[in-house]
């Protein structure tokens, strides 16, 4: 690209943030001061920090020119801090705006969920810096936006279950249907992805409940088990009707034959997708051959991929047409540019993309919006994360209010990820160990 100076780049793009509005936002303290810009020399990384805020690991990359970038990992991964700091020596001194060159230093030192999260959060923070330095939203650096609003699916808006009968699932789904976000697509957990559902019945499958890492149960379903899961799905679908899609997070842990029987039974309900039936969430490999068998045996879309790290590990799934929809999580797959690359490759194979994101937090939400704006036309929706605890909404500035309307989020145009911390408010939630995070 010839005109990568800030002036030239902005001048050539209608809709880019004007310098005056950028200055106004800086005055309000909502953005870090701009550096000289990538056309004027490197923006060197001087520090990599990680704080656990609430339950989300938050990554901050500090540079020598007053710009900081933020990234985030899932709220289930408070243990991640040492892993983030492990990468510090690899990227110190790198030009933060040469994102790919910095990523080459660390990308190979990651793995499937949860061990790709630190690399992913760092990648997102680098894009935040690159966007701020260029004075453009991150989606411009990812190729520009295809859409002015991005569809979301639920996601993080959850209500406590009152029991495990089909009626309980219907009532729970009704609450999601009425949620203020106006979801057009809702995902519910069933089968082995939902231990409460499976363990509430006697003899639901031919093994005993397992403890240990997430989603440890697997095995052949009993007739009773299969029928009970199908009854819960029918009850939920009845609530949503034809206007709101129902996706099902199912496993991992199903046998191929049970998966096919289950999928065929649900075909009349037009389920949006069946997720992770065979391998998936926290399985350290994707089993493309078994997925392919399921996919070829049903008209329902088959989905997987939230645990997968890097484009290389989607190769088999995509090239073998093993699934219909991929669902990488930008906070696990290696970042937002990594996910976009995979989505493009999936698109030329007729495969769609619905990124995972339920625990990605509010910085993660901003990363999703920037990324989703630039994903190709095979994009369906990303999984909507929420701020937990609620005070997260008081410490992050820049999100729209309300965030979601009729199941969509309007794409914003502020530089970088377009969100940052209200440092004063956020400091109150730092542990003693992290008290210098914002200094
Ligand atoms: Mg899942």
The closest of 216, 228, 288, 219 to 259, measured between CA atoms, is: 219
CA distance 359 to 177: 20
> Which of 304, 219, 203, 223 is CA-nearest to residue 253?
219
Kindly give the distance from the C-alpha atom of residue 248 to the centroid of ligand 1, in angstroms, as a whole number.
9
Looking at residue 267, what DSSP letter applies? Answer: G
Average pLDDT value for the chain: 92
The CATH number given to whatever domain includes residue 56 is: 3.30.390.10
DSSP 8-state symbol, 254:
B
- Please tell me the distance between residue 157's alpha carbon and the centre of ligand 1 in angstroms: 15
pLDDT 10s digits, 322-343:
999 999 999 999 999 999 999 9
Whole-number Cα distances in Å, 274 to 42, 83, 184, 254, 298: 46, 32, 17, 12, 11
> Which value, in Å, is the radius of gyration of the alpha carbons in the chain?
22
Q: Tell me: do 418 and 279 sit in the same domain.
A: yes
- Residue 27, C-beta contacts closer than 8 angstroms, at least 6 positions apart: none
> For the residues 389-417, what does the mean pLDDT come to?
98
Distance 384 CA to ligand 1 centre (A): 13
Domain, as residue range, for 162: 149-426
In the chain, % of residues over pLDDT 90: 90
Kindly give, in sequence order, each residue whose CB lies less than 8 Å from that of residue 20, ignoring residues fewer than 6 positions away: none
Say how far apart CA 235 and CA 354 lie, in whole Å: 24
Distance 355 CA to ligand 1 centre (A): 10
CATH code, domain carrying 208? 3.20.20.120
Residue 84 has pLDDT above 60, yes or no: yes
Instruction: Express each pLDDT in 243-267 by its tens digit.
Output: 999 999 999 999 999 999 999 999 9
Same domain, 153 and 132: no
Picking from 350, 288, 290, 293, the residue whose alpha carbon sits closest to that of residue 313 is 288
pLDDT value at position 41?
84
**pLDDT (tens digit, 9 = 90+) per residue, 48-77?**
999 999 999 999 999 999 999 999 999 999
How many angstroms is it from 353 CA to the middle of ligand 1?
13
Q: How many domains does the chain fold into?
A: 2
Question: Confidence class of residue 137 from pLDDT cuts 50, 70 and 90?
Answer: very high
Among 82, 112, 137, the domain-final residue is 137
Give Cβ neighbours of residue 128 (< 8 Å, ≥ 6 apart): 61, 69, 70, 71, 138, 416, 417
Q: How far away, in angstroms, is 287 Cα from ligand 1 center?
A: 16
Q: Encode pLDDT of 225-243 as tens digits.
A: 999 999 999 999 999 999 9
pTM here? 0.91
Q: Please return the burial class of 439, using the count of CB atoms within 10 Å of its CB with bins 0-12, 13-18 and 19+.
A: exposed
Q: Are residues 132 and 153 in the same domain?
A: no
pLDDT at 38 over 90: no
pLDDT at residue number 39 = 55
Based on the domain organization, do 76 and 224 belong to the same domain? no
In a domain, 439, yes or no: no
Distance (angstroms) between ligand 1 centre and the Cα of 356 equals 7
pLDDT value at 22 more than 60: no
Average pLDDT over residues 76-91: 96
At 247, phi and psi to the nearest 5? -105, 150
pLDDT digits (tens, 9 = 90+) for 98-124: 999 999 999 999 999 999 999 999 999
- For residue 391, how far is its CA from the centre of ligand 1 (angstroms)? 26
- Output the CA 48–ligand 1 centroid distance in Å: 30
Distance 286 CA to ligand 1 centre (A): 13
Asked if residue 224 and residue 109 are part of one domain, the reply reads no
Tell me: pLDDT of 3 over 50: no
């Amino acid at each position: 690209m010839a005109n990568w100076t800030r002036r030239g780049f902005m001048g050539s793009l209608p809709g880019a943030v004007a310098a005056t509005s950028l200055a106004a936002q800086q005055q309000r303290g909502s953005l870090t001061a701009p550096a000289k810009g990538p056309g004027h020399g490197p923006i060197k990384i001087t520090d990599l920090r990680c704080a656990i805020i609430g339950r989300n690991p938050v990554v901050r990359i500090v540079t020598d020119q007053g710009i900081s970038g933020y990234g985030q990992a899932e709220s289930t991964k408070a243990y991640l801090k040492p892993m983030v700091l492990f990468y510090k020596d690899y990227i110190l001194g790198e030009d933060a705006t040469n994102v790919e060159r910095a990523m080459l230093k660390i990308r190979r030192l990651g793995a499937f969920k949860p061990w790709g999260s630190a690399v992913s959060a760092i990648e997102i923070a680098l894009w935040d810096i690159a966007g701020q330095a260029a004075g453009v939203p991150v989606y411009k650096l990812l190729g520009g936006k295809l859409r002015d609003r991005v569809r979301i699916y639920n996601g993080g808006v959850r209500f406590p279950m009152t029991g495990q009968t089909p009626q309980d699932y219907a009532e729970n789904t009704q609450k999601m249907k009425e949620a203020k976000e106006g979801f057009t697509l809702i995902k519910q957990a069933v089968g082995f992805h939902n231990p409460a559902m499976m363990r509430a019945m006697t003899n639901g499958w031919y093994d005993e409940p397992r403890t240990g890492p997430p989603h440890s149960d697997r095995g052949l379903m009993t007739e009773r088990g299969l029928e009970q899961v199908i009854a819960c799905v029918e009850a939920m679908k009845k609530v949503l009707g034809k206007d709101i899609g129902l996706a099902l997070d199912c496993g991992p842990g199903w046998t191929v034959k049970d998966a096919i029987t289950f999928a065929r039974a649900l075909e009349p309900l037009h389920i949006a997708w069946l997720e992770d039936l065979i391998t998936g969430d926290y399985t350290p490999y994707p089993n493309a051959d078994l997925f392919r068998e399921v996919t070829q045996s049903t008209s329902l879309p088959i989905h997987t991929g939230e645990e997968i790290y890097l484009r290389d590990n989607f190769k088999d799934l995509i090239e073998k047409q093993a699934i219909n929809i991929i669902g990488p999580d930008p906070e696990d797959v290696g970042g937002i540019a990594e996910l976009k690359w995979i989505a493009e490759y999936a698109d030329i194979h007729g495969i769609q993309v619905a990124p995972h994101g339920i625990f990605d937090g509010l910085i993660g939400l901003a990363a999703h919006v920037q990324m989703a704006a630039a994903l190709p036309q095979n994009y369906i929706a990303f999984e909507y994360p929420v701020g937990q605890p609620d005070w997260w909404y008081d410490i992050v500035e820049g999100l729209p209010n309300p965030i979601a309307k009729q199941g969509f989020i309007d794409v914003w145009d502020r530089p970088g990820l377009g969100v940052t911390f209200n440092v004063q408010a956020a400091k109150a939630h730092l542990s003693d160990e992290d008290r210098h995070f914002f200094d």
